[in-house]
Structure formats: C-alpha cells, structure tokens
Structure 1
C-alpha cells in the first residue's frame, strides 16, 4: 500500500503520529470508450470556451459562480487557507459507537503508527475498545475539511469519513404515514422466514458476479482472437512518449483502412499508404 497522507492524531496533550492509507480499492474491470466501427479510442480534451485552446491541467484554476458573477480561485488562493495547511487529525469528542449512523459512513482509511514506539497508538486503540466508543475527528484532506469516525478494526485504527448532516437526505414517504395493521400470525410467519435464512455473515462468500462474467467475456474474446493490436492501431503503446498527443485522425484513418482491407481480403484498391493486413488477430489453426 502507498501512503497518501501523514499527520498526527491529537486529543488533549496526546499526539499520535500516523500514516494514512486507503483501506479499500476498486476491483471493476477498467473499460474505455471506442468507436463501434473501427475500434478507435475516444478521447476527451479540456477546451476553453473563450479561446478554443486545449488547456493543460497545470493551467486550470477553480471558479465559483454567484448571481452571474464568476469568482476565480487560484491554486495559491486555495493553498493559503489555514485548514489546508493543517496536518492534524483533531479528536472533537468520543461518542457511543451505536450513535454513529451507518448511512453517514463514507471512505475508509487505515492508520499506521509513524513513530519508533507505537505505544500511544496502541493505548488509544485499547481505550476505544474498552470504552466501546468511537472518536469523532476533524481533519483536512485534498483541500477539503472532513468529519470522520475513528474506530478499531482488529489491531488497526480505521479512519472513516462521515457525510455532513446536510448531505444526508431525509426520507419522507407519505404512504408510511398511514396506519398499517400487522397481525400476530403475519409477524410470526415473517420471523420464521427470517430465522430460516439466518447465518453468520462472511463477506468472502460473496463475489461481484457482473465483474466475474465481464472478465470471462473478455478472456473469451482474447482466446478467439477478437482483438486488435494497440501499437499497430495507434502507432505505439499509450503513454510511451511521456504524454505526447497521438494524431487521432491518422490513427482512425489507419484503422478504417485496415478494417476495409480485412473485409475485402486485402486485394482491392490497395495503395502504398494503406496497410496490407488487418489489425485483427486471426486464431491459429
């Protein structure tokens, strides 16, 4: 794992240096958009509406529109905010764990002790365990002030960001305002059904079936030779020139030419600038 942030947990006079790591990762199969006719990669550019130029990330600032007026915030403006400079995770209060609404839990991070002795880290962990409390903390990450719950998972302290109160919508369903009568027999049968499905939860027993089937589909297409060579289509592997922009029009023309050559057997209307073989890989045998 890669450290994404370093700071210190602080409460009272106690200071616990920590390293922060993302506790979760996305396992979805990465897909990008291509032209359905020739497989050419679809790319998006950041274009200025005023001058029409393509703008690099380094030249992009943020802005806020208020009553028709645009307020531009530069990188220096944002960096000058006091909260952004803070490297502390401040404990605001310790609350009973059951009072933390699961609906408000967001991104999770592991905290690793960042000192020669983990004593202060272990002390805080054991205190949270014995008191059955969760620490509510405030810190700044990626130019945002965040509220988070600090809790224990095994031997590790976990920092889990919380949604702000005004970010959680209130459920207001009028149909639930009506009185609904449930008979004793209905409740008994429902409880019996729940009991028949009762078990201990083991997350390892569950897999993402869609991603599994998608991976199987991709492997089958590779096995059948239903692919095209990226280097032949775009000239070289993506990113090999350190971010140099590929001439997309030329790549698409080459893809169209190869596609036509594949359909005609490569012997009709071939010229010196038209490829003589398809980028499609033929299955051996």
Structure 2
C-alpha cells in the first residue's frame, strides 16, 4: 500500500508519528463510454457556457450561487485565509464510549501505521482504546478539508474513520410512521421465529458480488471468442495524424477567427483548395507534391490581398 498522508496523533503529551493508508477500495469492472460505431472513447471537456469554448484548468475558479441568483467567485487567496486544522496532526479531543457513535455518521476508513520509533506509544494508545472500549474523537485535515473522525481498533491496527458532520445527516420525515399500527402477538411470534431460523454469525466472506462475476463472465466470453477490436488511437484521427486535442485546438482557433471577423462585419474566408488540389490545378505531374511553387501561390491570391488576418490565440 502507498501512504497518502504523514503526520502524528497527539493525545495529551504523547505524540505518535504515523502514516495514513486507505483501508478500503471498491472492486468494480472499469467500463468506459465509447462510440458504438468506431469504439472511440467519449471525452468530457470543461467548456465555458458563455463562450462555448474549452477552458484551461488554470482559468477555473470556484463559485457559489446565492438564492437570489447572484454569483460569488472565490479566489485562491480567499480559500487560503480559511481556518484549517494543522495538516500534519491528528488531535484527540475526547474519548467516548464506542456505542455512542451512530454508524450513520461513519464514512471512509484509513489505517494508521506507526513509525519504527513510535511502536510503543502506538501500542499504548491501541491498548487503552481496547481496554476502555472507547473511541477517540479527533479532528484532521485531509485534502484541504477539516474532518471530524474517530480512532478505533481493528485487529491490531488503529483505524481512523472520518465522520459526517451532524448537519450532513438528513432527517427521516415519513408521516406514515406516525400512524397507530397494531401488531398481533401471533404475527410477532411468527416474525421472531423467522428471524431465529435465519440467525447466524456475520461472515462477509460468505457473500459475493454476483453482478460483477456475471459481467466479468460476459467480457471473458467475448475475449475468448475473438469478439474484440483494437482500441482506436486519437493520434490516428485525420489525414495529418493530429491528435484529438490538436483538432479541438484548431477548431477553437477557427471559431475565434470567425467570431472576430463577424464582429468587424467581414465575410467568412473561403476555404482554399488543398496543396494537392493546387498542384493539380497548376498542371504538376508529381502526384506526391502537395505544395505549389511560391509564384503559383501568389498568382491565386486576389489582387490587393497579400496577407491573411492574424488568428487570435485560443484562451
């Protein structure tokens, strides 16, 4: 595993240097959206809704829309001034009984590995949590966000499990549950009997993701029968071998030029024949020659028009 965070657990005067590892990882069959006709990957670009043009990452800011439709744009300087817990410290605030932490608050789980020099204080904290049957409530800064979390013990490892803030848990408002419902003793006895007949000790290894297994079987069957195709490469798009990114850039440049000309009231420039077409028009007998001689190019330009308008760079 790869550590995603390094810091220290601080409780009282004890400081335990630790590394943080993601304790869970979902296993899903990675499926991509592709063009049914040719298998090309469907890409998502960040496009400005006003200009209808791609926006560079450096030009993207965070914004908040108020209830009355006003937009507040937050800069990096605004975000840097926000209060945030020390990024390299897990501060223990209190120790609480384990059964007082509502499972609905539990979010993502991480493993804490002690440094080689911190094995003893790590063991001390672990045994204290187990012996008192308590969890340590802490605050930690992960990914530029302050989170509330708990430290608990799983086997011999101290786990940090982030918690949702109380206002992030929605209230269940179901009026139907307010109705008076009468359960007959016979019905309750039968339901209890059913519960007992299915009672057992929970062992998650006894369950499997049947959907994922079936999906993998379908994919394997197609691979085994040769019903596959080569992954199309974006670099092969177009006669000149431009990548999709270059094509998008050229398209954006072309739109910028056309928009600028339209703003000046100019007519769109007529597309010139390709180099090969000009060569044929000039009577060239070299099939592979794509560009005409300079004098031929000059002869084809309208009188009085010696240069083309400069294209604006795409933002």
- Structure 2 length normalisation: TM-score? 0.71
- Give the match's secondary structure for 2:84: helix
Contact 1:104–1:163, Cα closer than 8 Å, also in 2 = yes
Q: Give the structure 2 partner of residue 129 of structure 1.
A: 130
Q: Give the structure 2 partner of residue 14 of structure 1.
A: 14
CA distance in 2, matches of 1:195, 1:26: 32
Alpha-carbon deviations, 1:38-96, whole Å to 9, x = none? 32211110112344432233442222223444333233443443416532111121111
Mapped pair 1:4 → 2:4 = yes
Q: Give the structure 1 partner of residue 33 of structure 2.
A: 33
Contact 2:34–2:40, Cα closer than 8 Å, also in 1 = yes
- Give the match's secondary structure for 2:147: strand
Contact 1:234–1:246, Cα closer than 8 Å, also in 2 = no
CA distance in 1, matches of 2:64, 2:85: 19
Gaps of 5+ in 1: 237-242, 248-285
Q: Give the structure 2 partner of residue 273 of structure 1.
A: none
Contact 1:79–1:85, Cα closer than 8 Å, also in 2 = no
Gaps of 5+ in 2: 238-243, 249-315
Alpha-carbon deviations, 1:166-199, whole Å to 9, x = none? 1111112222212222222222221111111111
Aligned residues: 244
- Give the match's secondary structure for 1:116: helix
Alpha-carbon deviations, 1:186-223, whole Å to 9, x = none? 22221111111111111111111111111111111111
CA distance in 2, matches of 1:146, 1:230: 42
- Structure 1 vs Structure 2 CA RMSD: 2.6
CA distance in 2, matches of 1:228, 1:220: 14
Mapped pair 1:225 → 2:242 = no
Contact 2:10–2:16, Cα closer than 8 Å, also in 1 = yes
- Structure 1 length normalisation: TM-score? 0.78
Contact 1:84–1:141, Cα closer than 8 Å, also in 2 = no
Q: CA deviation at 1:127?
A: 0.3
Q: Give the structure 2 partner of residue 190 of structure 1.
A: 191
CA distance in 2, matches of 1:43, 1:26: 23
CA distance in 1, matches of 2:31, 2:76: 32
CA distance in 1, matches of 2:31, 2:246: 20
Q: Give the structure 2 partner of residue 49 of structure 1.
A: 49
